[in-house]
Amino acid sequence: MARMATTQKVVVSTIGAWLAGFLIFFPILWMVLASFKTELEAFAIPPSFLFFHWTTENYATVQERSDYLHHAMNSIIIAGGSTLIALLIAIPAAWSMAFSPTKRTKDILLWMLSTKMMPPVGVLVPIYLIYKTFGLLDSRIGLVFILCLGNLPIVIWMLFTYFKEIPRDILEAARMDGATIGRELVYVLTPMAIPGLASTMLLNLILAWNEAFWTLNLSTSYAAPLTTFIASYSSPEGLFWAKLSSASTLAIAPILVLGWFSQKQLVRGLTFGAVK
């Protein structure tokens, strides 16, 4: 009797979970489906779900009209570069705040977070002018720089919380074992922090990949990443749902694949068993 009740519970919660998952996933599914419709069917009311005339013509048009690979490469350089630089700055910063905090550490962390509370549009004009003066408009390096700075507070915060969880004793043990600060960082802290680093890196990549405010405002063609590529289907020549969808599908595909394969690395729990 009791067993039947639990089986029922499991079935109900499984169905519930699938439903919730489907609901969350639906917009993405809808976008992918729309990318295979003709422009007319993409607009049709009532919409057709699966039974429409499947076509890949949108993809062909999109590729013809704009150079996907060029924009994808820009996205990779901008997202990857800004993440890499952010990590290089954030690792030592978070390390020192987690392991030798001063009485100002809390304030500094809050101050960094406070910069994220200001809407970016508030500083658009000065940044635009600075970029213009220094010739950074529509340059990859300019975008790498601004996205890196934008995400830095979040990266430092995330790493700080991960580092905080690493037992102090283990670092002291390394010190007793004759490790200098540098080697302690390389041989002990970093390997233990890898799951945290991996998830921070992935999150930052996704944020940078999808960042649309600065990329749209500071780039036009040469340095334009995939966000600009998508946007170009919604403005100048009216709205093209199907083409917009196929552009978007193309744009999120790389990051989706990356997320799918790095799921395992994101599961944490490496420190378990080290300290009783």
Q: What's the rounded Cα separation, in Å, for the pair 170 and 49?
A: 56
Residue closer to another protein by CB (options 156, 192) is: 192
Residue partners of 244: CB distance under 8 A and separation at least 6: 230, 233, 234
When asked if residue 172 is in the footprint of another protein (CB under 8 A), the reply is: yes
Residue closer to another protein by CB (options 177, 237) is: 177
In the complex, the smallest distance separating the C-beta of residue 198 from another protein, rounded to whole angstroms, is 14
The pair of structure tokens assigned to 258 is 């990356």
Token pair 């924009």 is at which residue?
71
When asked if residue 98 is in the footprint of another protein (CB under 8 A), the reply is: no
Q: What's the rounded Cα separation, in Å, for the pair 132 and 20?
A: 46
When asked if residue 3 is in the footprint of another protein (CB under 8 A), the reply is: no
In the complex, the smallest distance separating the C-beta of residue 146 from another protein, rounded to whole angstroms, is 35
When asked if residue 175 is in the footprint of another protein (CB under 8 A), the reply is: yes
| Dihedral angle of Cα 206, 210, 213, 214, to the nearest 10 degrees | 60
Number of residues in contact with another protein, rule: CB under 8 A? 25
Q: Is the dihedral of CA 105, 169, 266, 12 positive or negative?
A: negative
| Dihedral angle of Cα 237, 238, 244, 247, to the nearest 10 degrees | 10
When asked if residue 77 is in the footprint of another protein (CB under 8 A), the reply is: no
Of 174, 224, 226, 247, the residue at the interface with another protein (CB under 8 A) is: 174
Residue closer to another protein by CB (options 170, 198) is: 170
Please give the residues from 179 up to 198 whose contact with another protein meets the rule CB under 8 A: 179-180, 183, 187-188, 191-192, 194
Contact in structure between 218 and 143 (CB atoms under 8 Å)? yes
CB count within 10 Å of CB 42 equals 21
In the complex, the smallest distance separating the C-beta of residue 171 from another protein, rounded to whole angstroms, is 9
In the complex, the smallest distance separating the C-beta of residue 172 from another protein, rounded to whole angstroms, is 5
In the complex, the smallest distance separating the C-beta of residue 157 from another protein, rounded to whole angstroms, is 24
Please give the residues from 152 up to 171 whose contact with another protein meets the rule CB under 8 A: 167, 169-170
Longest dimension (CA), the chain: 76
Residue 275: HSE in the Cβ half-sphere, 13 Å Cα cutoff: 12
Of 76, 108, 173, 231, the residue at the interface with another protein (CB under 8 A) is: 173
When asked if residue 60 is in the footprint of another protein (CB under 8 A), the reply is: no
When asked if residue 275 is in the footprint of another protein (CB under 8 A), the reply is: yes
The CA–CA distances, whole Å, from 204 to 3, 83, 85, 144, 157 equal 44, 6, 11, 12, 12
What residues make contact with another protein under the rule CB under 8 A?
A: 167, 169-170, 172-180, 183, 187-188, 191-192, 194, 270-276
